[in-house]
Chains A and B, each alone.
Chain A
Amino acid sequence: MEYYTYVNIFETKGLEYLLLMCFFALFIYLVRYLSGPGKKDSAPRDGSAAGGRMKGAGH
């Protein structure tokens, strides 16, 4: 049996764009987080500090 009523097939679009904005915010945070704790502090001072730290963790 056929019913003719209006169905909005794009009802969730607004929510989807909200999710997208959350994603951007969190993604930037994730990438910054992944680039490590040492680098940001040590890079301006001395490039070898980060390297030394890595070696230390390796052994």
Chain B
Amino acid sequence: MDRRRFFATAGTAAGTLLHMKKSEAANAKEGKEFVGVLVDTTRCIGCRACEVACSVAWNNFVPDVKNDNALDHRRDTSDKQYTVVNRFKTEKGDVFVKRQCMHCWQAACVAMCLVNAMYKTKEGPVTWNGEKCLGCRFCMVACPFDIPKAEYLSWNPRIMKCHMCYERLQEGKKPACVEACPADALMFGQKRELMEIARHRVYSHPDKYVHQIYGEQEAGGTGWLYLSAVPFDQIGFRTDLGTTPYPEYTKQFLVSVPLVLFGVPALLLGLSELSDRKNEVRESEGWTETGADE
């Protein structure tokens, strides 16, 4: 860490301590507000153009959309594809749901990573850095959405997951899947704006949508947001994840670590002194000061 970065970090830390709200507002002004994507499952036509665009953009396995009949069975993202579309038969007909990394506001995988290989960028995407990764796969344990996937059959495995086309975002482009969507089911933007659009759609069509925006609160809030015509548990979403950001579950432990390191050695040293027979004052010596000095 060079000196400038150190001061920057120290400054940020101090700023966080002193006035957290203010620094959040400052981040927002500098254009560092989190971006995300709003997925309107009522608009998705299941063409899987997003799957193809994603795989083409990142050199992954490109599915043969016309012939592979992949919609007939449930699929999951894999070490070969960052995103997949599934079909669900519901009371309101076929519903197509795109699945990829949710880009949590406070991501469990990022908090779990001991080398910052999983990294939450200031723009919002959660990225993975193979130069740092140990391949311990605890990100996969931590992720409540089961998104990170490991290349098990490689001597040098990568952790494969959507990174919201972070490189494209930096060039000012949209994620590849959003750009490819012919049905306007995907909308890219800042989460704040997307939330307003999503609420607007729900309130102006109260019969068309369930009154929940998946990702607003789930696991502490995610970058990707979903609208649906049917309850979310019917289209493959876990609804038991809670609204607590996952890193909060380890926060108490992480705070107690320095507490233990401060307190326990002193306690043990004290116990050791107490149990040391050499320190006992013999009765004949009494409570004199000279006795204490020895």
Contacts and interface: CB of A to CB of B under 8 A. Distances in A.
Contacts of B212: 1
Interface residues of B, number: 3
Nearest to B239: A1
A1 B231 CA distance: 9
Nearest to B210: A1
A36 to B, nearest CB: 23
A1 B209 CA distance: 11
A56 B181 CA distance: 86
B199 interface: no
The prevalent SS among residues of B at the interface is loop
Interface residues on A, range: under 10
A32 B135 CA distance: 52
B211 interface: yes
Contacts of B211: 1
A1 B212 CA distance: 5
Interface in B172-219: 210-212
Interface in A2-51: none
A2 to B, nearest CB: 8
A1 B211 CA distance: 6
Nearest to B211: A1
B230 to A, nearest CB: 13
A1 B210 CA distance: 8
A4 to B, nearest CB: 14
Nearest to B212: A1
A1 B228 CA distance: 12
B32 to A, nearest CB: 30
A1 B243 CA distance: 12
Contacts of A1: 210-212
A33 to B, nearest CB: 26
A1 B233 CA distance: 12
A8 B210 CA distance: 28
A1 B232 CA distance: 10
B238 to A, nearest CB: 15
Interface string B50-70: 000000000000000000000
Contacts of B210: 1
B170 to A, nearest CB: 37
A31 to B, nearest CB: 20
A1 B214 CA distance: 10
Interface in B209-265: 210-212
Nearest to B231: A1
A3 B212 CA distance: 12
A52 B211 CA distance: 80
A14 to B, nearest CB: 25
A3 B211 CA distance: 12
A33 B212 CA distance: 59
3 contacts: A1-B210, A1-B211, A1-B212
CB-based closest 3 A-B pairs: A1-B212, A1-B211, A1-B210
Interface of A: 1
